């Protein structure tokens, strides 16, 4: 890396202060303007004496008080007998000379001299110089705001060498993704001791692609590599390569590898590489557009005729499906390291890493929290711990207890409570029966996940919610569980129809219907769970569309097949509706019991719901017996706010 690349943003190393440069430029502009004003006003300021009218001048000549005069083309100046200087503007007066001679006035003439050649050149060149100075000032400002290279250095790489004097991240700070960490640890060991692998003919990998969902820790792994490797570490985003000017991205790729060669062995980390590495030929544009030129240059630099030994490329993306196949082949990215969402053991380790910075109460159990957060990524768990700490701080506590973690978990999963929302009594009652319908169907569907919590307190965009949590991490889902999920989804709508009648069914089930339709569509088109359609993939391709338009029907599907698929989707959803209606009709007493309990307590846990259905008391002594939510009136408004679906964190059908 050259000296220019090492300059920081505080003024460019030991060079002049940018503020002083700007000041000098403005001082130069003001001095130039002052010179022009002085030049054009010089002849006026050079003349001395009091200015008098021409008639007064003639009167003084007739009185004999004028001693001498100097006549020029645009001015008459002279001296009075008293020694006082005067000047006046001439007029067309042919008799003036005779009049002066008769009065005995000494007459002199003065030739008007034009500006010198230097003055003339300065006057002519001054506008150009002013324009040049202003343009230089503007360019300097653009360079300061444009990062590396600035306005005049579009082709320069924006890769930054990462230095972590404080807050250094190591592999000890990475938890829950042990397999991915082990693969990258091997690269670090190769950099530290290449002879250990070279003696058996092993070569250093040229690239490693980190693939995973957002928040799983890809960038954190890269920071850990930077902290552990002990070699120069350059970092850049994929979007930093591409500009509106054609050829700029390819130039930046070349410059980045030139910098890396000077510091080899080194590591270059490209975050969100899908911004520049998308499949060539997809969508609009041809092979001559800027993004594809940048990708072509990256392919050549990674594995072309000139080998870049000692440069390891590590890239991260959550969209590996859109990357160009030439970028993924061995020799460019030799390894694809999958960074998955952590399992329960991984979540325990991640929670313990983040809990080190938080003062915990004795009742906090990281494993219990991990069991209740299936599907959470590392970023989600970090946010959960932070929310718990903020909640404890708002309450004025010195330690973060399990209650704060439960409250934070509900906030992250279901959204913040909206207790200030005004609802009518009828709306609250309908919401209670809607959520009770979900809960009762879930209790009587053996394949359904256990209920974690039911509430009629508005959270986020939902008026109420039933949250279910799986007892363990699941990686595949069976047909019986999908049918159970469909029945639970329809439970809220069925409960409204049973209790309030056909005409009083509300729009609150819109989210439930959307979930059920999506799940049924996946069952038919992706997972082959329809006997009439068969085990054939009819799913809509997820590739790029032309002009943003994509047909709702795959090209390999006939109209008859599309109609059959629609019929099967409708049949599956209506089957879930029928199952929910059967359960709620048989257990209508439990539906009334749970709805009344929700109206009284507003929020019930899964264990409390089970006790209530079993005929046992809930056992609350600190819960007020009246609602804490404000209510107005008793009539249901004509336009209801859409009610959110029951919470189902499992990815089945997602």
Residues 302-311: pLDDT tens digits? Answer: 876 666 677 8
Task: Report whether 391 belongs to an annotated binding site.
Answer: no
In this prediction, residues 454-460 reach a mean pLDDT of: 82
Closest CA to 158 of 288, 19, 271: 271
**Predicted pLDDT of residue 573:** 94
Active-site option among 435, 497, 602, 608: 435
pLDDT tens readout for residues 238-284: 777 776 555 677 788 888 888 888 887 888 888 888 888 888 776 54
> Chain-wide mean pLDDT for the chain?
77
The residue among 583 and 181 whose pLDDT is bigger is 583
Task: Report whether 534 belongs to an annotated binding site.
Answer: no
Task: Report whether 38 belongs to an annotated binding site.
Answer: no
- Partners of residue 448 on adjacent β-strands: none
Q: Look at residue 118 and give its three-state secondary structure.
A: helix
**Predicted pLDDT of residue 624:** 47
Report the range of poorest mean pLDDT among 64-68, 256-260, 394-398, 628-632.
628-632
**Predicted pLDDT of residue 10:** 42
Report the range of poorest mean pLDDT among 25-34, 260-269, 321-330, 388-397.
25-34
Q: Look at residue 631 and give its three-state secondary structure.
A: strand
Is 70 exceeded by the pLDDT of residue 426? yes
pLDDT tens readout for residues 163-179: 555 457 777 778 777 78
Is 90 exceeded by the pLDDT of residue 136? no
Contacts of 59 (CB under 8 A, 6+ apart): none
pLDDT tens readout for residues 372-387: 888 888 888 989 999 9
Token pair in block for residue 94 = 């042919």
Task: Report whether 214 belongs to an annotated binding site.
Answer: yes
**Predicted pLDDT of residue 616:** 79
Is 50 exceeded by the pLDDT of residue 180? yes
**Predicted pLDDT of residue 583:** 93
**Predicted pLDDT of residue 114:** 58
Is 70 exceeded by the pLDDT of residue 159? no
Q: Are 377 and 357 in contact (CB under 8 A)?
A: no
Is 60 exceeded by the pLDDT of residue 64? yes
Confidence of residue 620 (pLDDT cuts 50, 70, 90): low
Q: Are 413 and 647 in contact (CB under 8 A)?
A: yes
Report the range of poorest mean pLDDT among 156-165, 326-335, 557-566.
156-165
In this prediction, residues 524-532 reach a mean pLDDT of: 90
Is 90 exceeded by the pLDDT of residue 205? no
**Predicted pLDDT of residue 649:** 37
Contacts of 273 (CB under 8 A, 6+ apart): 209, 238, 315, 316, 317, 323, 327
- Partners of residue 237 on adjacent β-strands: 271
In this prediction, residues 324-352 reach a mean pLDDT of: 86
**Predicted pLDDT of residue 451:** 87
**Predicted pLDDT of residue 307:** 66
Task: Report whether 44 belongs to an annotated binding site.
Answer: no
Is 60 exceeded by the pLDDT of residue 575? yes
Is 60 exceeded by the pLDDT of residue 461? yes
Is 80 exceeded by the pLDDT of residue 131? no
**Predicted pLDDT of residue 223:** 80
Rounded CA-CA distance 547/530 in Å is 33
Token pair in block for residue 595 = 């709805």
Confidence of residue 545 (pLDDT cuts 50, 70, 90): very low
Greatest mean pLDDT among 8-12, 83-87, 167-171, 495-499: 495-499
Rounded CA-CA distance 190/179 in Å is 17
Is 50 exceeded by the pLDDT of residue 191? yes
In this prediction, residues 391-409 reach a mean pLDDT of: 90
In this prediction, residues 7-13 reach a mean pLDDT of: 40
**Predicted pLDDT of residue 283:** 52
Is 70 exceeded by the pLDDT of residue 145? no
Rounded CA-CA distance 236/2 in Å is 17
**Predicted pLDDT of residue 5:** 42
- Max CA pair span of the chain: 138
Q: Look at residue 636 and give its three-state secondary structure.
A: coil
**Predicted pLDDT of residue 146:** 46
**Predicted pLDDT of residue 19:** 62
In percent, the amount of the chain with pLDDT more than 70 equals 75
**Predicted pLDDT of residue 552:** 53
Task: Report whether 478 belongs to an annotated binding site.
Answer: no
Task: Report whether 592 belongs to an annotated binding site.
Answer: no
**Predicted pLDDT of residue 2:** 42
435 is catalytic: yes
**Predicted pLDDT of residue 517:** 94
pLDDT tens readout for residues 218-231: 888 888 887 787 77
Confidence of residue 388 (pLDDT cuts 50, 70, 90): very high
Is 80 exceeded by the pLDDT of residue 618? no
In this prediction, residues 582-592 reach a mean pLDDT of: 92
In this prediction, residues 458-467 reach a mean pLDDT of: 79
Report the range of poorest mean pLDDT among 184-188, 197-201, 583-587, 595-599.
197-201
Q: Are 470 and 452 in contact (CB under 8 A)?
A: no
**Predicted pLDDT of residue 544:** 45
CATH of the domain spanning 47-109, picked from 1.10.1200.10, 2.60.34.30, 3.30.720.210, 3.30.43.10: 3.30.720.210
**Predicted pLDDT of residue 360:** 92
**Predicted pLDDT of residue 491:** 93
- Partners of residue 517 on adjacent β-strands: none
Task: Report whether 556 belongs to an annotated binding site.
Answer: no
**Predicted pLDDT of residue 243:** 63
**Predicted pLDDT of residue 142:** 58
Q: Kindly write down the DSSP assignment for every residue of 504-535, as one continuous string.
A: G--GGGHHHHHHHHHHHHHHHHTS---TTT-S
Fold for the domain defined by 354-412: Helicase, Ruva Protein; domain 3 (1.10.8)
Do the bridges between strand 451-455 and strand 603-605 make them parallel or antiparallel, or are there none, so unpaired?
Answer: antiparallel
Confidence of residue 9 (pLDDT cuts 50, 70, 90): very low
**How is the chain split into domains, by residue range?**
3-41+116-145, 47-109, 160-338, 354-412, 425-544+556-613
Angle value at C-alpha 214, between 208 and 219, nearest 5 degrees: 45
Is 50 exceeded by the pLDDT of residue 543? no
- CATH architecture of structural domain 425-544+556-613: Up-down Bundle (1.20)
Do the bridges between strand 207-211 and strand 311-317 make them parallel or antiparallel, or are there none, so unpaired?
Answer: parallel
Is 60 exceeded by the pLDDT of residue 508? yes
Is 70 exceeded by the pLDDT of residue 627? no
Task: Report whether 212 belongs to an annotated binding site.
Answer: yes
Fold for the domain defined by 160-338: Rossmann fold (3.40.50)
Q: Kindly write down the DSSP assignment for every residue of 560-586, as one continuous string.
A: HHHHHHHHHHHHHHHHHHHHHHHHHHH
Report the range of poorest mean pLDDT among 31-40, 103-112, 128-137, 317-326.
31-40
Report the range of poorest mean pLDDT among 15-24, 235-244, 346-355, 529-538.
15-24
């Amino acid at each position: 890396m050259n000296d220019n690349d090492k300059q920081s943003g505080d003024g460019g190393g030991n060079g002049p202060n940018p503020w002083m440069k700007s000041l000098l430029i403005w001082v130069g502009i003001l001095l130039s303007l002052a010179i022009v004003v002085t030049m054009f006003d010089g002849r006026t300021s050079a003349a001395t004496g009091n200015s008098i009218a021409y008639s007064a001048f003639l009167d003084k000549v007739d009185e004999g008080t004028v001693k001498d005069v100097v006549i020029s083309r645009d001015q008459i100046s002279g001296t009075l007998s008293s020694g006082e200087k005067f000047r006046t503007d001439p007029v067309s007066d042919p008799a003036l000379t005779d009049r002066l001679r008769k009065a005995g006035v000494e007459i002199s003439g003065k030739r008007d001299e034009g500006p010198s050649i230097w003055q003339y050149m300065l006057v002519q060149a001054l506008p150009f110089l002013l324009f040049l100075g202003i343009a230089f000032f503007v360019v300097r400002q653009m360079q300061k705001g444009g990062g590396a290279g600035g306005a005049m250095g579009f082709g320069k790489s924006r890769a930054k060498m990462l230095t972590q004097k404080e807050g250094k991240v190591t592999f000890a700070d990475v938890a829950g993704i042990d397999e991915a960490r082990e693969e990258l640890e091997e690269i670090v060991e190769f950099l530290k001791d290449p002879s250990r692998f070279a003696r058996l003919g092993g070569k250093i990998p040229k690239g490693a692609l980190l693939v995973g969902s957002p928040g799983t820790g890809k960038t954190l792994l890269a920071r850990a590599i930077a902290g552990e490797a002990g070699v120069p570490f350059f970092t850049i985003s994929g979007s930093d390569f591409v500009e509106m000017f054609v050829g700029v991205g390819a130039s930046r790729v070349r410059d980045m590898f030139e910098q890396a060669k000077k510091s080899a062995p080194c590591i270059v980390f490209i975050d969100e590489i899908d911004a520049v590495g998308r499949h060539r030929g997809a969508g609009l544009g041809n092979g001559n557009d800027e993004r594809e030129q940048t990708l072509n240059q990256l392919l050549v630099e990674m594995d072309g005729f000139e080998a870049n030994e000692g440069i390891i490329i590590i890239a991260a993306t959550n969209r590996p499906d859109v990357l160009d196949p030439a970028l993924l082949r061995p020799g460019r990215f030799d390894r694809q390291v999958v960074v998955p969402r952590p399992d329960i053991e991984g979540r325990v380790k991640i929670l313990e890493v983040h809990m080190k910075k938080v003062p915990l109460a004795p009742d906090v159990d990281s494993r219990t929290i991990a069991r209740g957060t299936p599907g959470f990524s590392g970023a989600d768990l970090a946010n959960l711990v932070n929310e718990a700490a903020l909640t404890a701080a708002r309450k004025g506590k010195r330690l973060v207890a399990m209650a704060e973690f439960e409250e934070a978990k509900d906030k992250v999963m279901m959204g913040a409570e909206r207790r200030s929302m005004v609802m009518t009594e009828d709306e609250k009652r309908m919401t209670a029966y809607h959520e009770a319908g979900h809960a009762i169907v879930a209790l009587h569907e053996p394949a359904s996940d256990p209920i974690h919590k039911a509430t009629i307190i508005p959270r986020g965009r939902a008026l109420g919610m039933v949250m279910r949590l799986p007892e363990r991490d699941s990686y595949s889902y069976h047909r019986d569980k999908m049918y159970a999920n469909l029945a639970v989804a329809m439970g809220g709508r069925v409960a409204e129809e049973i209790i309030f009648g056909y005409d009083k069914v509300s729009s609150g089930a819109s989210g439930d219907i959307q979930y059920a339709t999506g799940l049924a569509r996946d069952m038919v088109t992706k997972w082959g769970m329809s006997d009439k359609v068969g085990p054939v993939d009819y799913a809509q391709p997820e590739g790029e569309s032309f002009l943003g338009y994509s047909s709702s029907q795959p090209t390999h599907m006939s109209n008859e097949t599309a109609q059959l698929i629609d019929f099967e989707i409708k049949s599956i959803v209506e089957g879930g509706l029928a199952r929910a209606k059967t359960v709620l009709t048989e257990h209508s007493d439990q539906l009334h019991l749970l709805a009344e309990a929700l109206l009284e307590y507003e929020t019930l846990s899964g264990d409390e719901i089970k006790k209530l259905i079993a005929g046992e008391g809930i056992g609350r002594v600190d819960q007020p017996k009246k609602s804490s939510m404000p209510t107005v009136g008793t009539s249901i408004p004509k336009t209801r706010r859409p009610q959110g679906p029951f919470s189902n964190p499992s990815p089945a059908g997602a």
